[in-house]
Amino acid sequence: MALDWLKTNLSAARNSVAQEVAKFKNRSFLEATIAGVVVVAYADGLITPDEKQKMMGFVQRHEALKVFDTSQIIDLFKKYAENYDFDRSIGESQALEAVGKIKKNESEARLLVRVCCVIGAADGNFDDDEKAAVRRICDELGLNPSEFDL
């Protein structure tokens, strides 16, 4: 009986540690994703509910990001959105700095660009301003925008 208790608690502790390691390991990707979404969402001057819902849906379904609490995601989104509200140039600069932190991981960088394209099209119109925002993200990541039909 004591052995069963030990197995159960050891397994729970192992799962908890694995989840915390996953959060630590993927924090930069989460932050880059949220920052990139804000850059694209603000491209037309207005963040729509569709753009927010697409972002939340992606984060909650992506294996590496679903370990984060919704409140953490919302807090990050607010952080970058408030920077834009304060000053658009400062907001974009800080958001692109966060995006640039995943530059060395090409698969994450490419995924981020694809997510930003989906966010740009979330309201049914991937307009020129949103495409230009994604091109700036590509530049920050060292990716060729033409690979994404931009």
pLDDT, one tens digit per residue, over 50-79 is: 777 877 787 788 777 777 788 888 899 889
Instruction: Write down the mean pLDDT value for the chain.
Output: 81
- Classify residue 94: in a domain, yes or no: yes
What does R_g of the chain's alpha carbons equal in angstroms?
A: 18
- Classify residue 135: in a domain, yes or no: yes
What is the amino acid identity at position 94? Q
Q: How far apart are CA 137 and CA 74, in angstroms?
A: 21
Instruction: Find out whether 112 and 35 touch, Cβ atoms under 8 Å.
Output: no
User: Which residues constitute the domain of residue 45?
Assistant: 27-148
- Classify residue 43: in a domain, yes or no: yes
pLDDT, one tens digit per residue, over 5-39 is: 434 544 543 444 344 434 445 788 889 999 999 99
- Classify residue 14: in a domain, yes or no: no
Which two three-digit tokens encode residue 108?
């994450």
- Classify residue 115: in a domain, yes or no: yes
- Classify residue 22: in a domain, yes or no: no
Task: Give the number of other Cβ atoms within 10 Å of residue 141's Cβ.
Answer: 23
Looking at the structure of the chain, the number of domains it has is: 1
Q: Residue 67 sits in a domain of what CATH number?
A: 1.10.3680.10
Angle formed at CA 87 by CA 126 and CA 98, multiple of 5 degrees: 65
Identify the CA nearest to 111 among candidates 66, 62, 72: 62
